[in-house]
Amino acid sequence: MPDSTPPSQEITPWHAVKPEEALAALDTSRESGLSQEEAKRRLEKYGKNKIPEPPRRSAFMRLLSQFHNVLIYVLLVAAFITALMAHWIDTGVILGVVFINAFIGFIQEGKAENALEGIRKMLSLRAVVLRGGSRHDMDAELLVPGDIVFVKSGDKVPADLRIVRAKNLRAEESPLTGESTETDKTPDPVPEDAPLGDRTGMLFSGTAVTYGSAAGVVIATGGDTQLGKINRMISEVEPVTTPLLQQIGRFGIRLSAIILVITATFFTFGYFFRNYAIDELFMAVIGLAVAAIPEGLPAVMTITLAIGVQRMAKRNAIIRRLPSVETLGTVSVICSDKTGTLTRNEMTAKTVATADDRYEVDGVGYSPEGSVTKEGARANLDKEPVLFRLLQCVRACNDSDIHRDESGAWTVTGAPTEGALVTLARKGGLEASAFPRKDAVPFESEHKYMATLNQVDGEMLLCVKGAPEKVLDRCRTQRSKNGEEPMDQDFWDDAIKSLAEQGQRIIAAACRVMPDDAENIDPSDLDGGLLFLGIVGIIDPPRAEAVEAVRECREAGITVKMITGDHGITARAIGKELGIGDGENVITGAELEAMDDRKLKEVVLKHDVFARTSPEHKLRLVRALQANNLLCAMTGDGVNDAPALKQANIGIAMGIKGTEVTKEASEMVLADDNFASIVHAVEEGRTVYDNLRKALLFIIPTNGAEALVLMAAILMGITMPITPVQVLWVNMVTAITLALALSFEPMEKKVMERPPRDPAEPLLGIYFLWRIGYVSVFIGGMALLAYKLMRINDADINTARTIAVNALVAGQIFYLFNCRKIYESSFTGNFFNNRIAFLASGVLILLQLVFTYAPFMNILFGTAPLEAEAWIYPLGIGMIVFLVVETEKHLFNRVRQKQ
């Protein structure tokens, strides 16, 4: 196996050493690079420059793993029992549900395993390399540590590089760092503890060069690159079981144990104390087991989750893994990336400051819709000469433009910051007309400004924009409404500080009137004789809907934490605007690095804004929250978010701007990239859980009533009031019709005003057990009473059993309407807002009529047609059940209100 450790790796990180030291450590030369022989030797030693592919499970093993699920086990047990009873139709139906579930899971898991493949596809395919003193265009997989690689604007970086030479170099690293702006790159070393986004002497595999050119020495390839480390983190993250599956697992084990104990007990009792024949007793116990197992429950739960998926999709939340639907209703913390999730990932000019005034800018993104205002009124450029000149300057000194794409959305061609300045000029009333350019000094990281010579309104104007400190150094005077006046350095220092504290990136503008015949920019033209015009504050603004969504989360008991790779001052400002954190405290990546896991576990509960974070930090933060027994959702769109998304209880990826890697690592994808859609998804998640509990509250008393009828018969030593095959009929038809109706129940009032449920709480609490217990006894007892009355009145056994079965079903139909509201009266709100409940009841009534009167059903199930007056038993029992449960709910609510 190749040794992936780069040669001569020093203790000092590569970004902290000088280029010459890096070249010496890697035993290479910037003039000639590696020889072909040495490159071949290193390729054999370190392996190809590609992400290692972990061994994949075969398709058969992936399919087999789909059956390793408690829900599936319950179905298989039900299928086995029905097969023992030779009830092949029901066996086929149950097994059909099992295989459909397994097939869906098989397809989804196959998609999930493509997450690592998405990272591999991010690697560059070709690279320009210096070998033996000559440049070669070659397959990027053949790169080795020590190779000298050349990159230019538009290139994808093929490996992790230590820059040895650069000209006007900028790189777009947001997929890796989460930063929304381009990063200036130079060969200069930076401190050892510099976070990933501040390592300006490095270029990282999979990122893109947006401006300039550079040469760099390869310091890491394949799995040793930053991208490779993220890949390794994704592959090492263990899948997290959803709270629902954990609860169903516990419920299934307990239910199985209870059924085993009860059947064994009653078999023993019937054999020794009631003198049943062994075959009759065996069928009675089988019937008891069939009665106790809720065969339809797994199918109902699967369909309820599927309906939740459909509802969420209509609200722009696409669920990739079915059990994750309910998880959203359980989360107590949402960790969100900033760029593109809480913000628009579109740079926007928000403030303009001149020597006389400060202007606010309406609108967001690259759309020119909006205006420049002063004290709430739109600025009139005819009366604002300083603002007018500043807008002309930033528009003329600009290599970017904005336009509508095919979807009609405004987008930028060029640098995002320059796009924001073009949009600002358009909002201020400056049309899109170009200013003829004679000459230009491109932006370079060394001097941090750009200058152009343009024809503007009939005069030759030297326009300059760039970093405030660099532009101010070249100005002796400033423009005000009174004309040209001496520079007020203190005023501008305060203005810059004020905007910076709001998280805005500052761009300064200056100009100089040149002779009409000027054709070129001389270096002397830029030395100290410029006229300072003002500054522009630019920011990646929060989504307007995200502010409201954060507030709704807070009301629902959900904490929102912002974890970003951006600078602390920007993170604090955006957090304050969104209502995340206290607007003061920010924890940086460097501080996280210094914390052990115990300290981090404490800090993560006290702070909500984290800045300059790396993929490792995001992963640690999610694990720290989970160590505090908090269920955590993580949102993101960059490759750097993928490990944390996979670790979180539910990972949420952005559908529009998210990378394929994050989508494949997530459980949910937001189709509109809107944080507010998460709140809607939480509502639906809580509704799904409510409906699942309603289904349990409905289905289990059905089984309980049947089981109690059979247990009472064994205790009393009488003939079975219902047969095993009749038990199965009741179980299946009530689950398929009535229980499914509860899956369509709309959201209850105040669902977002209650705190997240504790994932450790039992699926069936004390109140649920009380309800299930007394309803089971009541329905079972009434059915047994109806059977006994029919027998007393000389009805034959088949007729009495038909009455008992219909009594059980009628009790369930009326009880369905009790279950539509767990605690409130069933008449609260709109009683008719679930048409499916009425439709399902009608279908079940038709099925029972067929069960009762169809001759072939009489033969199959041992039933008999009933006289019209006999129906008074089932109808009366059903109405009594409904009234009793409604009365109990009313009394319970009165007691709860008093408490």
Give the catalytic positions in this structure: 337
Distance CA 809, CA 816 (A): 10
Neighbouring C-alpha atoms within 13 Å toward the C-beta of 836: 13
Closest-CA residue to 345 (of 409, 396, 427): 409
Residues 6+ apart with CB under 8 A from 724: 85, 283, 286, 287, 290
CB distance 51 to 116 below 8 Å: yes
Tell me the C-alpha distance between 536 and 542, whole Å. 18
Nearest to 178 by CA among 571, 753, 710, 760: 571
Enumerate the H helices of 473-596 as residue ranges: 489-501, 544-555, 568-578, 589-594
Report yes or no: 305 and 245 within 8 Å, Cβ to Cβ. Answer: no
Please work out, in degrees rounded to the nearest 5, the angle formed at the alpha carbon of residue 158 by the alpha carbons of 157 and 164. 65
Chain centroid, CA 358 distance in Å: 39
Among 503, 495, 585, which Cα is nearest to 540's?
Answer: 503
Please state, in angstroms and rounded to a whole number, the distance separating the CA atoms of residues 735 and 757: 26
- Specify the DSSP class assigned to residue 479: E
Asked if 164 and 24 touch (Cβ cutoff 8 Å), the reply is no
Name the residue type at position 611.
A
Distances (CA, A) of 704 to 293, 597, 778, 779: 9, 48, 10, 9
Contact between 182 and 540 (Cβ < 8 Å) = no
Residue with tokens 């660099």: 470
* 302 neighbors 296 (Cβ within 8 angstroms): no
Q: Residue 137: what are its φ and ψ, rounded to 5°?
A: -90, 110
Q: How many CB atoms lie under 10 A from the CB of residue 102?
A: 18
Residues 6+ apart with CB under 8 A from 763: 247, 248, 250, 251, 693, 696
CB atoms within 10 A of CB 488: 14
Residue 595, judged by CB atoms within 10 A of its CB (0-12, 13-18, 19+), counts as: middle
What percent of the chain is helix, strand and coil (3-state, nearest 5)? 50, 15, 30
Tokens of 720: 């079975």
List the Cα angle 695/701/703 in 5-degree steps.
100
Distances (CA, A) of 661 to 113, 115, 231, 508, 640: 10, 5, 10, 38, 9
- Residue in the structure block whose two tokens are 């000149």: 389
